[in-house]
Copies of this chain bind each other. A is one copy, B any other.
Amino acid sequence: MKRIRKWVWLVLPFYLLTCLPLSATEVKSPNGNIVLTFTVEQGRPVYSMTYKGHDVIRPSHLGLELAKDKHASKKFEETDLMDGFLIKDETTRVEDNTWQPVWGETKDIRNHYVEYAATLSQPTQHREMIIRFRVYNDGIGFRYEFPQQQELNYFLIKEERTEFAMAGDHMAWWLPGDYDTQEQETQQTRLSEIRARMQQAVNWGNSSVAVFSPTGVQTSLQMKSDDGLYINIHEAACLDYATMHLELVDAETKALSTMLGGGSNAYTPAPKPSAWPIPAPMTFVSHLTPDATGLKGCMQTPCETPWRTVMVSDDARDMLSSNLILNLNEPCKIEDTSWIHPTKYCGVWWEMIVGKSSWNYTDEFPSIKLDNIDWSSVTPNGRHAANNDKVKRYIDFAAKNGLDEVLVEGWNVGWEDWANMWKRDVFDFVTPYPDFDIKMLNEYAHSKGVKLLMHHETSSSTQNYERHLEEALQLMNKYGYDAVKTGYVGDIIPRGDHHYSQSMNNHYLYVIQQAAKHHVMVNSHEATRPTGLCRTWPNLVGGESARGTEYEAFGGSRPDHTCILPFTRLQGGPMDYTPGIFVTKLSEWSDNPSWARITIAGSLALYLTMYSPLQMAADLPEHYERFDDAFQFIRDVACDWDDSRYLEAEPADYITVARKAKGTDNWFIGGKCDENGHLAVVKLDFLDKGRKYECTIYADAKDAHYETNPQAYTITKKTVKYGDVLKIKEAPGGGFAVSLMAK
């Protein structure tokens, strides 16, 4: 019986999937623009999606392949959750509520959707699975739910096989699928061109590269169709589950998940090709991040997958203003959130990234062991940045300029040989170098109304970090730190694990939860890309999980990079992009030949276009002092908002946004463009009618250019009112920033 059904599928899939049967259920978004269709076809769940009549997702299968467990236990179900299903029950309901984030782009967030849940039974296995869809005006989310049941208690995921059949050869902004890094430059190609571009797209220079397929890409994946639809695939609420990648089936696909050679992680067993039929070309198939054994997940019912999200609109601005990802996450689980606050900060950081000073204190030893070193007697290398004098200089700068905190990296022992050495006991997170007086510096900072911002580089030795975490948080409480930047550079220890696996995603959440108990905010670098968990755990105030400003010191990023990130990386939550580089040619003050492809006005714009409640002023104090009139904008700009209006947007081209500062009537506007420049036309129709605003415009000078003249800017002041129009020219690689202070 089963064999016959499989045979049918081998010959018929293309025919069968060209259209859905008449019996399919249709679910419409509140405004009717989106239509979701769901049915079970030959025992397999199939969905599709249209927007204003245009195909967004063509009929696509849903299901999970299960792995066999070595324990031949009845308790482990090993039959795939792929076929043999019947629809047992269907429910539909409408939800419309509004909630207030602890911090965010808007004061209120409306959560309005039509929910459809199909309970599927798999009679041969006596099992049930629910597929739940939520259809919003700007997209859909759906997930698999596994109720607790006698015949489905535990299962192991070989692969999730969620399909997203694209309706055309879209333009796509993509990163190579990789289990360990997401710091690549974004590629812009047609879907059909992904394979040819892959080899050059991989960030081979990164210490952690683990690509898995010549057509594997990451989410959030932004696309644009020839009929003008903006389509974005990502996920929401990835909790105790592996991060999803997408593997494109193209004309050359012979099998899914064919491991790339070369720079891939030699320790990872190559995923075995799926036994299931390969879907039609131009279909993405989910591909989860494996554990050290190649397995994708260990599940216990009741449980559910993260939400798989497909956002769509014919207006690119809707991609940026969407709250679909946040809405699909659970409400805040922290009762008292009074200690969570938006933060502007500077830090002892950029000069180390650039290579002018060092995180480590000594060069005396070929390697170190923490329990073997008498730090008071070692020879300093003279380049250690996190020293008392320098930190005090930064504290003074922060205090003078109204910055809330000062990040100090390299304060704790262990940096001598911290990365990629497979050292488990690499840091203890509590022992300062001899020239960093932790007590004095915190007291000094507090006396000036500033806090220090803690840094925990784990070197991806997660077991070591968890062993020291409680003591490290206690130290933070003792000295008055209320935020920590965590780091996960290098290969995961325990060996074989990956940055985006189920266990690592659990680890990141564990740290967030432990930090919350100590009233500590977390800004996690090199961790998994966010999926809106900051709604549930708003002490997760930021993260990296993409190519940040540091790459400006590692060869630079393209000028359009920051016009892509809000469409992709920022969908899941704010990024600690660490903007604000004013002296873009690093050779001006260091031996580093790298340079940032941005103008000063463009850098100011990032404080608006790259939304985050945590914003750094990343350059050196002396550089800001050189351009103090421009720095005024960074002093002024808010980083928490009552309202946000995306005024102009096109992926990789330009973004213009206006935001109303929290609890005030002041607005700030930022515009950022790519290497081609842009004329922003900003109609001030969001201001209060009848009110006047003191307007300061920080714009690129006429001859400004990210390469030849990045420091040329103009500052113009005038009074404006509702309905006025600002036309501001952005230079190649430039941008602008505007403050509008209500009079």
Chain A residues with CB under 8 Å of chain B are 68-71, 73, 75, 148-150, 153-154, 156, 207, 265-267, 269, 291-295, 298, 300-301, 365-367, 369, 417, 420-424, 463, 466-467, 470, 491, 494-497, 503, 506, 510
Of A154, A294, A367, A467, chain B has the most CB atoms within 10 Å of the CB of A367
Task: Using known A-B contacts A267-B295, A298-B422, A421-B300, determine if residue A367 contacts B148 with beta carbons closer than 8 Å.
Answer: yes
CB contacts (< 8 Å) of A365 on chain B: these are: 148
| CB–CB B494/A292 < 8 A | yes
CB contacts (< 8 Å) of A148 on chain B: these are: 365-367
| CB–CB B496/A266 < 8 A | no
| CB–CB B367/A506 < 8 A | no
| CB–CB A366/B150 < 8 A | yes
CB contacts (< 8 Å) of A510 on chain B: these are: 467
CB contacts (< 8 Å) of A266 on chain B: these are: 68, 70
Closest B residue to A149 using CB positions:
B366
Instruction: Give 19 A-B contacts (CB < 8 Å), ordered by A residue.
Output: A68-B266, A70-B266, A71-B491, A73-B420, A148-B367, A149-B366, A153-B421, A154-B421, A154-B422, A154-B423, A267-B294, A292-B495, A293-B495, A298-B422, A424-B503, A463-B466, A466-B466, A466-B467, A494-B503
A154–B417 CA distance with the chains assembled, in angstroms: 10
Closest 3 CB pairs of A and B: A292-B292, A298-B422, A267-B293
Task: Using known A-B contacts A70-B265, A494-B494, A495-B291, determine if residue A367 contacts B420 with beta carbons closer than 8 Å.
Answer: no
- Distance in Å: Cβ of A509 to nearest Cβ of chain B: 12
CB contacts (< 8 Å) of A150 on chain B: these are: 366
CB contacts (< 8 Å) of A73 on chain B: these are: 420
CB contacts (< 8 Å) of A491 on chain B: these are: 70-71
Q: This chain: how many copies in the complex?
A: 2
A561–B266 CA distance with the chains assembled, in angstroms: 44
CB contacts (< 8 Å) of A70 on chain B: these are: 265-267, 491
Closest B residue to A295 using CB positions:
B495
- Distance in Å: Cβ of A138 to nearest Cβ of chain B: 33
- Distance in Å: Cβ of A159 to nearest Cβ of chain B: 16
- Distance in Å: Cβ of A411 to nearest Cβ of chain B: 23
CB contacts (< 8 Å) of A495 on chain B: these are: 291-293, 295, 298
CB contacts (< 8 Å) of A422 on chain B: these are: 69, 154, 156, 298
| CB–CB A71/B497 < 8 A | no
A291–B493 CA distance with the chains assembled, in angstroms: 11
Determine which of B71, B292, B300, B466 lies in contact with A367 in the assembled complex, contact meaning CB atoms within 8 Å: B300
Task: Using known A-B contacts A149-B366, A367-B154, A467-B466, determine if residue A71 contacts B207 with beta carbons closer than 8 Å.
Answer: yes
- Distance in Å: Cβ of A742 to nearest Cβ of chain B: 48
Task: Using known A-B contacts A292-B496, A293-B267, A366-B149, determine if residue A421 contacts B75 with beta carbons closer than 8 Å.
Answer: yes
CB contacts (< 8 Å) of A294 on chain B: these are: 267
Closest B residue to A154 using CB positions:
B421
| CB–CB B367/A293 < 8 A | no
CB contacts (< 8 Å) of A75 on chain B: these are: 417, 421
| CB–CB A367/B153 < 8 A | yes
CB contacts (< 8 Å) of A467 on chain B: these are: 466, 510
Determine which of B69, B366, B496 lies in contact with A291 in the assembled complex, contact meaning CB atoms within 8 Å: B496
- Distance in Å: Cβ of A15 to nearest Cβ of chain B: 38
A150–B417 CA distance with the chains assembled, in angstroms: 13
A470–B473 CA distance with the chains assembled, in angstroms: 14
- Distance in Å: Cβ of A519 to nearest Cβ of chain B: 19
A156–B417 CA distance with the chains assembled, in angstroms: 16
A511–B743 CA distance with the chains assembled, in angstroms: 64
Closest B residue to A71 using CB positions:
B420
- Distance in Å: Cβ of A248 to nearest Cβ of chain B: 26
CB contacts (< 8 Å) of A298 on chain B: these are: 422-424, 495
| CB–CB A366/B153 < 8 A | yes
- Distance in Å: Cβ of A688 to nearest Cβ of chain B: 48
A425–B612 CA distance with the chains assembled, in angstroms: 33
